[in-house]
Amino acid sequence: MKPLFHPALADITVEGIMHALSDPVRAAIYAELADAADALTCSTFLTVRDRDIPKSTLSQHFKTLRDAGLILSERQGVEMKSISRCKEIETRFPGLIPAIMGAHKIQLMGKKKAAARRKPAGT
Amino acid sequence: MKPLFHPALADITVEGIMHALSDPVRAAIYAELADAADALTCSTFLTVRDRDIPKSTLSQHFKTLRDAGLILSERQGVEMKSISRCKEIETRFPGLIPAIMGAHKIQLMGKKKAAARRKPAGT
DNA sequence: CCCATAGTTCGGGATATATGAACTATTGAA
DNA sequence: TTCAATAGTTCATATATCCCGAACTATGGG
């Protein structure tokens, strides 16, 4: 198998990170990876926020995250384990990733509240 | 003229902001607007970092920034003045914009250093 | 009314994205 | 070793987006 490409820390760009996280599915995947204690596989994300993601699409999303320098992936047996590179990125762009993740959490909370307002009791 | 659309603060999304700032030209425009004491016109940016931007493209970039909720534009006579909505956004997503702008500055400094290394004396 | 200025809209070519189908790599039987 | 199952990748292509020149619109003078 073609070895996976991972950019060097110095080659990671803000634009790349912004682009990768401008997609809600990728942002959700990355958020989960960044929180996770250890590596997760692609197929963990076959459904993301109640939406089914085809595996070819998933594969592309992981590639995008990898190319942006956001995650590190490694084959382990038949699966592909990925972890967030947030510690590294923190040394290059201090505070960037936490701010983005924080904003995503705020936004998610807002959406939940709005949904609760639309259907107050178990409807 | 069709009145300009500006999203309500609550409708501003992280994805939208990420997408808008994932383009280096838009990021540069936004950075300048965010720093500026008062409103700037589109044509201020006919060249951005030594690159000429066609005015149709510029117009689209401003629309993208507006739609993302990043700027507020208003016609003043024959021109179009825009200012950053960073104060507002700070109340919705605290720390997000400063972190992104900070990261862009770090990246720019890195590029300048690399350029200086390539041509040490006035070449 | 006509011109100049500042932006916007339109058209179409180039580029990027999503996804089903086919393919590859690895593991674990039989 | 061969076969089947599992996990991802690659390919083809339909769709959507982006970029930019040309034409258009809005505003403010002379």
SS in 3 state form for chain B? CCCCCCCCHHHCCHHHHHHHCCCHHHHHHHHHHHHCCCCEEHHHHCEECCEECCHHHHHHHHHHHHHCCCEEEEEECCEEEEEECHHHHHHHCCCHHHHHHHHHHHHHHHHHHHHHHHCCCCC
Buried b (16+ CB within 10 A) or exposed e, B54-93: eeeebeebbebbbbbbbbbbeeeeeebbbbbbbeebeebb
Interface of A with B (CB under 8 A): 10, 13-15, 17-19, 21-24, 27, 92-96, 98-100, 102-104, 106-107, 110
Average per-residue pLDDT for chain A: 93
* Res A111: pLDDT: 80
CB contact under 8 A, B110 and A10: yes
Q: What is the pLDDT of residue A87?
A: 97
Strand C contact at CB of residue B97, distance < 7 A: no
Does residue A1 reach within 7 angstroms of strand C, measured from its CB?
yes
User: Do residues A96 and B97 make contact, with C-beta atoms less than 8 angstroms apart?
Assistant: no
Which residue type is seen at A24?
P
The tokens of A65 are what? 């995250």
Which tokens belong to A30? 């990355």
Nearest CB to B93: which of A96, A98, A103?
Answer: A103
Name the token pair of B95.
């720390």
| Chain A residues within an 8 Å CB radius of B107 | 13-14, 93
Q: Could you give all domains of chain B from N- to C-terminal order, each with its CATH number?
A: 9-113 (1.10.10.10)
d(CA B106, CA B102): 6
Dihedral pair phi/psi, residue B82, rounded to 5°: -130, 145
Strand ordering across the sheet containing A71-76: A40-41, A79-84, A71-76
A113 CB closer than 7 A to any strand C atom: no
Distance of C1' in C14 from CA in A117, Å? 45
Report the pLDDT value the prediction gives residue A118, as an integer from 0 to 100. Answer: 79
pLDDT tens profile A16-63: 999 999 999 999 999 999 999 999 999 999 999 999 999 999 999 999
Segment B74-88 mean pLDDT: 96
pLDDT classification of B121: cutoffs 50, 70, 90: low
Q: Taking CB atoms and an 8 Å limit, are B18 and A19 in contact across chains?
A: yes
Pick from B27, B8, B29, B9: nearest CA to B18:
B27
Nucleotides in chain C near protein beta carbons (<7 Å): 4-10, 17-22, 24-27
Alpha-carbon torsion angle A12, A97, A18, B104, nearest 10: -70
Which of A14, A27, A104 is facing B103, going by the closest CB pair?
A14
d(CA B101, CA B27): 8
Cβ-Cβ contacts under 8 Å, B18 against chain A: 18-19, 21-22, 27, 100
Q: B15 falls in which pLDDT band (50, 70, 90)?
A: very high
Q: Which nucleotide is nearest to B76 (CA to C1')?
A: D27
Contacts of A35 (CB under 8 A, 6+ apart): none
Strand partners, A75: A80
The answer to whether residues A20 and A29 touch, using CB atoms and an 8 Å cutoff, is: no
